[in-house]
A and B are shown apart, each in its own frame.
Chain A
């Protein structure tokens, strides 16, 4: 009988071995994926029982906390079922940083709160050792801090600029052209993330419904997720394509700019206000700072639709995969083969659509001698013990144009604000900003099929022109002239960021 008993013991050993292996599988290997499985109420509740990491605007020598977790009022150890403190999220600046931070709520999160949740919640794998140490030393679990490239000064200026603009729907993005770091990102109308932080599900539902049913779409981040016709600001791309393709030698080359220009399909294309463009055969430089439609329509038609699209793509257009880390809607330049439509497309009309971020990227590529840096928000991740867990290394997104073409384009963009006849001379030139040289391009886009609404105002620029530190793209829907409605917002951001005035 002992032989059978010994064998039975072996069977028992195998049974317990299987149990041990299986619990290891469930609790060590499967734990991560279990946390995201449906109806997992534990993960859902737990997130409010420890201190989530802060989000800090750390760009431009600032270090401003823009989202933090605070112990909820009256949450002592006896008031909750689990006995631990309940934390609620707090956004000290209300809606100023809303398009960046998003919100963290009982029903999920948006923006940076969503994108870097694993760091903020402390579940990232490179925080495991740290969590273990905290556990062993009896310290409460704490999430990591996320430091953003956002400059508090630039962001305040961007937010104020849009707020003071009379309630138009608008978006703005400011970039560091040399790195791609996002310095500011604002959108109006916007929302107050503090309203979403309630731990009361019913209250959350009411607030969420109110925001979602608002026709002004306050939750939409217009800076990256809404596209508008770029209008004349697209001439930056058309000009770059003209020079890069070798069809035009440089800014001093002349170009036919009749008023009006009869398109191959018989339609007539006018300059803005039906004005003449110089002597009808101006240098491209002059056509640029005067923003002559017919001149750039001719350039576009000579370059050809497909080539135009190809160069636009090098500036980041038509890319639906870009994330900052929030997904960015693609700015669109369709592949146009019809010459008449190419003419319209090359002045930022027809089906061209751009996000404010794309406008900033256009200027940033020119400012950075043709090299377009990948835009990003994350500067670094800091563990609770202040060690750095992750850091963004700036990377090149594409070489948009050669440095020579970039130089040509810089020269033309400087003229827009510095030549007394330039479209932005009054609003972004010496009369407004004195000695600071901003290089830019205005856009005033007709919108809608019937074009009955007020034009969209666009401005793409960088500064200082000699040593670019900031590039800005602004689009104000229904703002009117780009120089009047959009440029002043960009100027305010640039001045705030560079500390002039």
Chain B
């Protein structure tokens, strides 16, 4: 483990061609993964010291379990996607681990009634399921191209998954205290299908647009120097727009609605390279947002909350019964107060009071990091997210297959957009819309879906970086292709 990628053994010399094969960089991944695990264990130990002044119970057991889990993921990558990007797995492990640590820290404060005493154990379990999903994707999807065959099936599945909660009674579909109808709740167990719908829709958008991109690239009229698409080609974008508006209306879930629409616009832009689609998308989004703000009180309330969070009437407004003159901004301002109290270096894990912010374990978990790890820690976490998105976009650039390109680009951009919507929302950069923070928020659906997404990105990067088969020329005219 002394050398990272310069190790000569990482590059298998090709005796036949005399050309060095590119390194697959699995040792880099292992080293970075070890580093991520150490960071997570330090954070866990630090939390224990912060809360009780001693090493937390089960440091060794939890540490071993977490390390073993990530090691299994690494071995799966070695076996099934040896040429995959070496940074995605360590970054995912680091974020997942820090998320568990923060859930543990919040649960140990014993101040949050919405956080059960088994929350940490559950989150570890979800992580394990997430890693299993990650491995399953690598095992069963050896080439993302195969997904293209199921374009419409997956698209329909995605739409159904989104639509199910809207059909269910509120008692089964509403996330308590938020008004958002986005889950299926049965006997104490709940699942948020939209998290998985995102993957299905991404595949659908990519598959559909790969097929239709030539048509959609056709120029219609020129207007202000921009080639507008033909009117009859506007159909798909209008349908996507309408669908996302329906999500917003029937499920009160503005964040997800914006996320899906953003995903669609990004994929159509990558597919056609036409700026006009981007402009049309943004225009439709703005019109939709303004219309929704006018027509639906819960959307307008988000704007009021954003613009006037410190008004006493809003802070003291009852979130369950907001009325004409007030919009509850209590959660938003408490998150900001937490970040403010953390300042530049933070209070240290276990030393702050993140539990004051309602539902901090969910949408507002980044403010808990801001409070306890400070501006420094929060910026580091944003950079980790940023790095992850960048690795995804790189995979898209490197991919040779257009479908893989679109899928990787769409998924990466959706990840970036999701982080922007939720972190921007809780830090009052943009109006707050409820949406989970990838890897960090408490809950299984989001975590499992994101691990599956990372696996897809790694599969795409594996295909992209895998060296082309080397022809063996010694056999005369017959070429035997050696599998890379």
Which of A8, A20, A22, A42 touches B356 (beta carbons < 8 Å)?
A42
Q: Give Cα distance in the complex from A24 to B382, angstroms.
A: 12
Interface string of B398-435 (1 = CB under 8 A from A): 00001001100100110011011001100111000000
Q: In the complex, are the beta carbons of B390 and A9 less than 8 A apart?
A: yes
Stretch of B73-81, B335-343, B466-474 with 4 or more beta carbons under 8 angstroms from chain A: B335-343
Whether A1 touches B345, Cβ cut-off 8 Å, given contacts A23-B379, A38-B312, is no
Cβ–Cβ < 8 Å partners of B310 in chain A: 37-38
Whether A5 touches B353, Cβ cut-off 8 Å, given contacts A12-B416, A39-B316, A83-B53, is no
Cβ < 8 Å to B, chain A residues 13-59: 15-16, 18-20, 22-24, 26-28, 30-32, 34-35, 37-43, 45-46
Q: How large is the interface on A (under 10, 10 to 19, 20 to 34, 35 or more residues)?
A: 35 or more
Q: Give Cα distance in the complex from A245 to B27, angstroms.
A: 95
Q: Give Cα distance in the complex from A64 to B464, angstroms.
A: 76
Whether A12 touches B393, Cβ cut-off 8 Å, given contacts A83-B51, A135-B345, is yes
> Which chain A residue shows the least CB distance to B423?
A19
Q: Give Cα distance in the complex from A42 to B338, angstroms.
A: 7
Q: In the complex, are the beta carbons of A46 and B405 less than 8 A apart?
A: no
Q: In the complex, are the beta carbons of B429 and A18 less than 8 A apart?
A: yes
Q: In the complex, are the beta carbons of A12 and B413 less than 8 A apart?
A: yes
Whether A34 touches B336, Cβ cut-off 8 Å, given contacts A12-B413, A22-B427, A83-B53, is yes
Cβ–Cβ < 8 Å partners of B333 in chain A: 37, 39-40
Q: In the complex, are the beta carbons of A23 and B339 less than 8 A apart?
A: yes
Query: Contacts A8-B393, A39-B334 given; 20 further ones with Cβ under 8 A?
Result: A1-B409, A5-B396, A16-B382, A16-B389, A19-B427, A19-B429, A23-B423, A23-B427, A24-B375, A24-B379, A27-B344, A27-B370, A34-B337, A39-B330, A40-B337, A41-B356, A42-B352, A46-B341, A132-B345, A135-B345
A-B contact pairs, 8 of them (CB 8 A): A1-B409, A16-B386, A23-B339, A23-B378, A27-B340, A27-B344, A31-B341, A38-B312
Cβ–Cβ < 8 Å partners of B338 in chain A: 42
Stretch of B120-128, B268-276, B291-299 with 4 or more beta carbons under 8 angstroms from chain A: B268-276
**Interface positions of B (Cβ within 8 A of A):** 50-53, 109-111, 266, 269-273, 310, 312, 315-316, 330, 333-334, 336-345, 350-353, 355-356, 370, 374-375, 378-379, 382-383, 385-386, 389-390, 393, 396-397, 402, 405-406, 409, 412-413, 416-417, 419-420, 423-424, 427-429
A2, A27, A78, A135: residue with the most chain B Cβ atoms closer than 10 Å: A27
**Interface positions of A (Cβ within 8 A of B):** 1-6, 8-9, 12, 15-16, 18-20, 22-24, 26-28, 30-32, 34-35, 37-43, 45-46, 77-78, 81-84, 132, 135
Interface pairs A-B: 4 shortest CB-CB: A34-B340, A27-B375, A31-B340, A22-B429
Which of B110, B316, B334 touches A81 (beta carbons < 8 Å)?
B110
Task: Report the minimum CB–CB distance from A212 to chain B (whole Å).
Answer: 24
> Which chain A residue shows the least CB distance to B371?
A42
B-side interface mostly: helix
> Which chain A residue shows the least CB distance to B353?
A42
Which of A15, A24, A35 touches B341 (beta carbons < 8 Å)?
A35
Task: Report the minimum CB–CB distance from A463 to chain B (whole Å).
Answer: 51
Q: In the complex, are the beta carbons of B375 and A23 less than 8 A apart?
A: yes
Q: Give Cα distance in the complex from A445 to B207, angstroms.
A: 97
Q: Give Cα distance in the complex from A34 to B343, angstroms.
A: 11
Cβ–Cβ < 8 Å partners of B375 in chain A: 23-24, 27-28
Cβ–Cβ < 8 Å partners of A27 in chain B: 339-340, 342-344, 370, 374-375, 378
Q: Give Cα distance in the complex from A351 to B370, angstroms.
A: 59
Whether A5 touches B393, Cβ cut-off 8 Å, given contacts A19-B419, A31-B343, A42-B356, is yes
Q: In the complex, are the beta carbons of A28 and B344 less than 8 A apart?
A: yes
Q: Give Cα distance in the complex from A82 to B371, angstroms.
A: 13
Task: Report the minimum CB–CB distance from A197 to chain B (whole Å).
Answer: 22
Cβ–Cβ < 8 Å partners of B110 in chain A: 81
Cβ–Cβ < 8 Å partners of B409 in chain A: 1, 4-5, 8
Task: Report the minimum CB–CB distance from A12 to chain B (whole Å).
Answer: 4
Q: Give Cα distance in the complex from A406 to B250, angstroms.
A: 85
Task: Report the minimum CB–CB distance from B102 to chain A (whole Å).
Answer: 16
Q: Give Cα distance in the complex from A463 to B351, angstroms.
A: 55
Cβ–Cβ < 8 Å partners of A22 in chain B: 424, 427-429
Task: Report the minimum CB–CB distance from A78 to chain B (whole Å).
Answer: 6
Whether A77 touches B52, Cβ cut-off 8 Å, given contacts A1-B406, A8-B269, A19-B424, is yes
Task: Report the minimum CB–CB distance from A27 to chain B (whole Å).
Answer: 4
Which of B51, B312, B382 touches A23 (beta carbons < 8 Å)?
B382
Whether A3 touches B416, Cβ cut-off 8 Å, given contacts A27-B340, A27-B375, is no
Cβ–Cβ < 8 Å partners of B315 in chain A: 38-39
Cβ–Cβ < 8 Å partners of A16 in chain B: 382-383, 385-386, 389, 416, 419-420
Q: In the complex, are the beta carbons of B397 and A6 less than 8 A apart?
A: yes
Q: Give Cα distance in the complex from A132 to B338, angstroms.
A: 19
Which of A38, A42, A81, A135 touches B111 (beta carbons < 8 Å)?
A81
Cβ–Cβ < 8 Å partners of B419 in chain A: 15-16, 19
A1, A31, A45: residue with the most chain B Cβ atoms closer than 10 Å: A1
Q: Give Cα distance in the complex from A16 to B386, angstroms.
A: 7
Q: Give Cα distance in the complex from A365 to B312, angstroms.
A: 48
> Which chain A residue shows the least CB distance to B402?
A1
Whether A82 touches B423, Cβ cut-off 8 Å, given contacts A20-B379, A34-B340, is no
Task: Report the minimum CB–CB distance from B185 to chain A (whole Å).
Answer: 30
> Which chain A residue shows the least CB distance to B273?
A4
Task: Report the minimum CB–CB distance from B430 to chain A (whole Å).
Answer: 9
Task: Report the minimum CB–CB distance from B305 to chain A (whole Å).
Answer: 14
Q: In the complex, are the beta carbons of A4 and B270 less than 8 A apart?
A: yes
Whether A26 touches B427, Cβ cut-off 8 Å, given contacts A5-B396, A43-B341, is yes
Q: In the complex, are the beta carbons of B341 and A19 less than 8 A apart?
A: no
Task: Report the minimum CB–CB distance from B285 to chain A (whole Å).
Answer: 14
Q: In the complex, are the beta carbons of B374 and A19 less than 8 A apart?
A: no
Task: Report the minimum CB–CB distance from A59 to chain B (whole Å).
Answer: 36
Cβ–Cβ < 8 Å partners of A82 in chain B: 109, 350-353
Q: In the complex, are the beta carbons of A30 and B53 less than 8 A apart?
A: no
B111, B337, B342, B378: residue with the most chain A Cβ atoms closer than 10 Å: B337
> Which chain A residue shows the least CB distance to B269?
A4
Q: Give Cα distance in the complex from A82 to B352, angstroms.
A: 7
Cβ–Cβ < 8 Å partners of B370 in chain A: 23, 26-27
Task: Report the minimum CB–CB distance from A86 to chain B (whole Å).
Answer: 13
Q: Give Cα distance in the complex from A12 to B344, angstroms.
A: 25
Q: Give Cα distance in the complex from A38 to B396, angstroms.
A: 47
Q: In the complex, are the beta carbons of B340 and A18 less than 8 A apart?
A: no
Task: Report the minimum CB–CB distance from B334 to chain A (whole Å).
Answer: 8
